[in-house]
Amino acid sequence: MGHSMEWLGLHFITELPESGQVILNCTHDPFLVLLAYLVACVGCFATLDMAERVAHAEKSASKTRWRWVGSGCLAGGIWAMHFVAMLAFQAPIGLYYQLPVTVFSLTIALLAAWLAMHTLSLPDLNLQQCLMASIGIGLGIATMHYVGMTAMHSSALVYYHPGLFALSIALAIGAALAALLLAWYLRNGAGMLHQLFKYCASLLLGVGILSMHLTAMAAFNLVLPNDSLPVQSSEQSHLQLALTVTVMTLLIIGSSISAALADKKLQHKDRDLQRVNSLLSQLDQARMSLQQVAHYDPLTNLINRRGFNQVFAEKLIEKTNETGMLAVLFLDIDHFKRINDSLGHDAGDELLKVLAGHIKSSVRSHEDVVARLGGDEFCLLIDLHDRDEARQLAQRIMLKMKEPIELAGRRMVMTTSIGISLFPEDGKTCEELLKNADLALYQSKGSGRNGLNFFSANLKTRATLELQLEEELRHALREDTGLMLYYQPIYDLKTGQVSKLEALIRWQHPVHGLLVPDRFIAIAEANGLIAELDNWVLRKACEDLGKLSRQGCEDLKIAVNFSPLNLAREELADEIEHALRAAGVEPHRLELEVTENALMGNIANTLVLLRQIRALGVSLSIDDFGTGYSSLAYLKRLPLNTLKIDRSFIQDIPKATQDMEIVQAIIVMAHTLHLQVVTEGVETFEQYQFLENHDCDFVQGYLLSRPVPLAELHPVLNEINQRKHAYTVTTLSLAHGTSALM
């Protein structure tokens, strides 16, 4: 025999023997080799799968668990492949395997596999680490293989070819390196292509591991002496054992893969659940934000009307059960609109923030509710034992409001009007208490503002009456019933004749009788009915003027009063033109009376509208002169025809010398501006004489006649017009005197 040597218990030969010994001709069962390859591929696939699970696992315990499962799959796959491939080895002699050594080889495989899985679980794996780990894994697999081969016993001697032995170790290291690189590359992928790539990689790694095994088997030689007789082993028992090991290994690895797949799905479900929980959390936050928006005022951060109503309802239930008292304080900032109009809405918003802070700092505790209901309206809801507590709080707020505020470079002091209603005496529902507090606030405003008022039953009675009158007035306008015009003559001192009539509206109410304008004009103005009411007066006056013309009064003019609110309506000129055309009346026979304050309200817009009306040919008169605030600079620019002196200047003449001087000055000024002068409220002969002596143009009052309906007008006009100037006046003064008629 050629040169031989022994290393680590293995016999190596470098040359074939010459004589005395026989090298046995050994073969492999192709079916069992194929079975071994299948086991190797499945083991490799399981390893790739477990490496992926380790990479995707979120918890440390989960990573450790899948690392050990992967180690078991890899070790089991390689060891089972080796064992089945050993069983595939066929020799012409009897072969036996020692169980303890075989089990020990499995332990070595497990250590190599654990090193592989540990390497793959590193967060940042570089090439050097891969090379070092693959050497360790490759040597481990080779050691497992050769230790396993030492478990095989027979009558022949075992010799190894050193070159093939070294090649098998190199193949083991190469297969380990390839497995690490592929597993590292494939651990973060997904999808169908990724899965297909994993299958291909498993088949390739299976080839590498099987090649290493077959190379190691090629280095394996059995040698018998010439005089020994080979004894055949039972191939059937080898086949059964190989199938048993294969099935068991595949079942274990298959179960591991199934567990990994189930865990993957479970993890996806967990992530979906986390995503859903996250979305639900976001939705909850969004709902809370929406609730904040829905129930809080963004400017002042006080609760808004909706939030206040909710808290109010809860408080009412609580107080109803506990029999306690509540106060509702309705606040309105006095003349707030002026701030917005003069300094702008941004300054108004800043002021509201400051005032909201003042109100908030005036309340007693967090239990007192402060809300902004909109605009400059605030509402407070407080617990109390007696009504004086509500009064004290209201006075505290009013005092706090008077603190000077720096705004837009100006120093200003604001005031507030407050209305208070109490639960349970003023109402037992949110709506009723708020409405009654609002009525009390309305009373505070009507009393000159900067004050407080508690709700009382007479406020409700008056409010109910006003509401009823509003509804009935709407009905009267809609059905054209109950409303009528009365006419008061205006006497021309120059001609001694009645040249004009002032149209005055009356309402024949079915319950309250004949109502004068003071009873319902304010209601019409407050509820948007004034435009319709003025239009009705205009149309009716034009119709009556047409009737008077047909009855022989072709030269009479009619003066019609207009509300200040109507001077803001651009369509007014068109309505006047339409009324004149419909009645067939010449424009110069119509005169519109507007108050002094109405003219001065918005001078630029008023000028445009008045010029449009004058362009129609209609005359214009300034009514109640002297009671408002007029600028002479503006007065001379207005296209007026007539100036009407208010009755308050004439009623004390001749006793009040100051009034006489004022009236005289107004007449001189009006004539200087080329305006005719009408003095209303003339009730005595002395007043008449004074006005005649100081060149007044027209007089109007009870001295001549009270307002009368159209049907009664002709006798009155005839009586005034048929008498001579002096005689008429004397007769009337004696007949009527200073008391005259209502």
Residue 381: which CATH number? 3.30.70.270
List CB contacts of 671: < 8 A, sequence separation 6 or more: 677, 695
With bands split at pLDDT 50, 70 and 90, how would you rate the model's confidence at 191? low
Q: Are residues 316 and 218 in the same domain?
A: no
pLDDT of residue 489: 92
Per the structure, the count of domains in the chain is: 3
Which of the listed residues 422, 455, 488 is the one where a domain comes to its end?
455
Q: Is residue 391 part of a domain?
A: yes
Residue at 293 is within a domain: no
Length of the chain: 742
pLDDT value of position 20? 46
Instruction: Report the distance separating Cα 412 and Cα 347, nearest Å.
Output: 12
Alpha-carbon distance of 497 to 142, in angstroms, equals: 141
pTM value > 0.75: no
Per-residue tokens: 262: 């189930």
Q: Can you tell me the mean pLDDT for 381-409?
A: 81
Higher pLDDT, 181 or 502: 502
User: 460 pLDDT band (50/70/90 cuts)?
Assistant: low
Rounded-to-integer distance, Cα 85 and Cα 36, Å: 6
Which pLDDT belongs to residue 484? 87
pLDDT interval class at 520 (50, 70, 90):
confident
Quote the Cα angle for 49-52-55, to 5°. 155
CATH of the domain at 558: 3.20.20.450
Q: Is residue 287 situated within a structural domain?
A: no
* pLDDT bracket for residue 678 (50, 70, 90): very high
Q: What is the mean pLDDT of residues 152-161?
A: 67
Task: Read off the pLDDT of residues 467-478 as tens digits, 9 standing for 90 and up.
Answer: 777 788 888 888
Residues 6+ apart with CB under 8 A from 269: none
Is the pLDDT score of 355 beyond 70?
yes
Q: Per residue in 592-640, pLDDT tens? A: 888 766 666 566 777 888 888 888 888 888 887 766 555 666 677 778 8
Q: Is residue 495 packed enough to be buried (19+ CB in 10 Å), middle (13-18) or exposed (0-12)?
A: exposed
Return d(Cα 75, Cα 131) in angstroms, integer.
20
Single out the residue in 252, 269, 286 at which a domain terminates. 269
Q: Averaged over 251-278, what is the pLDDT? A: 73
High-pLDDT (> 90) share of the chain, %: 1
Residues 328 and 429 in one domain: yes
Tell me the pLDDT of the chain averaged across its residues: 75
Strand runs labelled E in 565-682? 590-595, 619-625, 642-645, 676-680
Q: Summarize pLDDT for 645-658 with one digit per residue, the tens.
A: 888 888 888 787 88
User: CA 75 to CA 67: how far, in whole Å?
Assistant: 12
503 and 636 assigned to the same domain: yes
550 has a pLDDT exceeding 50: yes
Residue 562: name the closest of 491, 514, 507, 613 by CA: 613
> What mean pLDDT comes out for the span 287-310?
76
The answer to whether residues 258 and 353 belong to one domain is no
Q: What is the pLDDT of residue 742?
A: 29
In a domain, 486, yes or no: no
Give the whole-angstrom CA distance, residue 402 versus residue 380.
Answer: 19
Does the pLDDT value for residue 732 go beyond 60? no
Q: How many CB atoms lie within 10 A of CB 453?
A: 21
586 vs 166 pLDDT, higher one: 586
401 part of a folded domain: yes
Confidence band, pLDDT 50/70/90 cuts, at residue 555: confident
Band (153; pLDDT cuts 50, 70, 90) = low
Buried b / exposed e along 186-222 (16+ C-beta atoms within 10 A): bbeeeeeeeeebbeebbeebbbbbbbbbbbbbbbbbb
Question: Would the pLDDT of 189 be above 80?
Answer: no
The answer as to whether 533 is a domain residue is yes
Least confident of 250-254, 477-481, 660-664: 250-254
Q: Are residues 209 and 315 in the same domain?
A: no
Q: Percent of the chain scored above 70 by pLDDT?
A: 66
List the one residue out of 400, 392, 391 whose CA is nearest residue 419.
Answer: 391
Confidence of residue 176 (pLDDT cuts 50, 70, 90): low
Q: What are phi and psi of 504, to 5 degrees?
A: -125, 125
Task: For residue 712, give the DSSP letter.
Answer: G
pLDDT score recorded for residue 151: 64
Same domain, 315 and 447: yes
Confidence class of residue 570 from pLDDT cuts 50, 70 and 90? Answer: confident
Nearest Cα to Cα of residue 359 among 421, 423, 300, 296: 300
Q: Which region, left, alpha or beta, applies to residue 584 given φ > 0 means left and ψ of -120 to 50 means alpha?
A: left
The arithmetic mean of pLDDT across residues 77-87, rounded, is 71
pLDDT of residue 698: 92
Name the domain boundary from 437, 455, 473.
455
Residue 488 lies in a domain: no
Q: Give residue 4's pLDDT.
A: 46
**Residue 370, pLDDT above cutoff 70:** yes
Do residue 248 and residue 318 come from a single domain?
no
Together in a domain, 716 and 631: yes
Which domain range does residue 367 map to? 305-455
Q: Phi/psi of residue 485, each to 5°?
A: -110, 135
141 backbone dihedrals φ, ψ, rounded to 5°: -65, -45
Tell me, rounded to whole angstroms, the distance of Cα 506 from its chain centroid: 51
Q: Please state the rounded mean pLDDT for residues 718-741.
A: 52
| DSSP character at residue 704 | T
Nearest alpha-carbon partner for 32 in 255, 222, 217, 232:
217
Distance CA 724, CA 321 (A): 82
The whole-number pLDDT of residue 721 equals 78
Cis peptide before 654 (omega within 30 of 0): yes
3-state secondary structure 282-303: HHHHHHHHHHHHHHECCCCCCE
**How many Å separate Cα 302 from the centre of its chain?**
16
Indicate whether 78 pLDDT > 70.
Answer: yes
Q: Are 70 and 253 in contact (CB under 8 A)?
A: no
Q: Residue 662: its pLDDT value, please?
A: 85
Average pLDDT of the residues in 156-177: 72
Residues 472-476: contacts with CB within 8 Å, 24+ apart?
Answer: 472/509, 473/507, 473/520, 473/523, 473/524, 473/529, 473/533, 474/529, 476/507
Residue 479 lies in a domain: no
β pairing state of 497-509 and 557-561 = parallel
HEC-encoded secondary structure of 42-98:
HHHHHHHHHHHHHHHCCCHHHHHHHHHHHHHHHHHHHHHHHHHHHHHEECCCCCEEC
Between 372 and 235, the more confident residue is 372
pLDDT value, residue 518 = 78
Instruction: Please tell me whether residues 531 and 394 are part of one structural domain.
Output: no
Residue 13, strand partner residues: 4
- Same domain, yes or no: 212 and 327: no
Q: Beta strand pairing status for 557-561 and 590-595?
A: parallel
| Three-state secondary-structure class, residue 448 | coil
- Please tell me which of 55-64, 194-203, 497-506 the model is most confident about, judged by mean pLDDT: 497-506
Rounded Cα distance, 688 and 694, in Å: 10
Q: Is the pLDDT of residue 235 over 80?
A: no
CB 158 within 8 A of CB 115: no
Segment 300-345, tens digit of pLDDT: 878 888 888 888 888 888 777 777 788 888 888 887 777 776 777 7
Residues 422 and 340 in one domain: yes
Residues 11 and 154 in one domain: yes
Residue 561 and residue 366: Cα distance in Å, rounded?
Answer: 54
pLDDT at 736: 46
Give residue 572's pLDDT. Answer: 83
- The pLDDT tens digits for 193-233 are 666 766 666 666 666 676 777 676 766 666 776 655 555 54
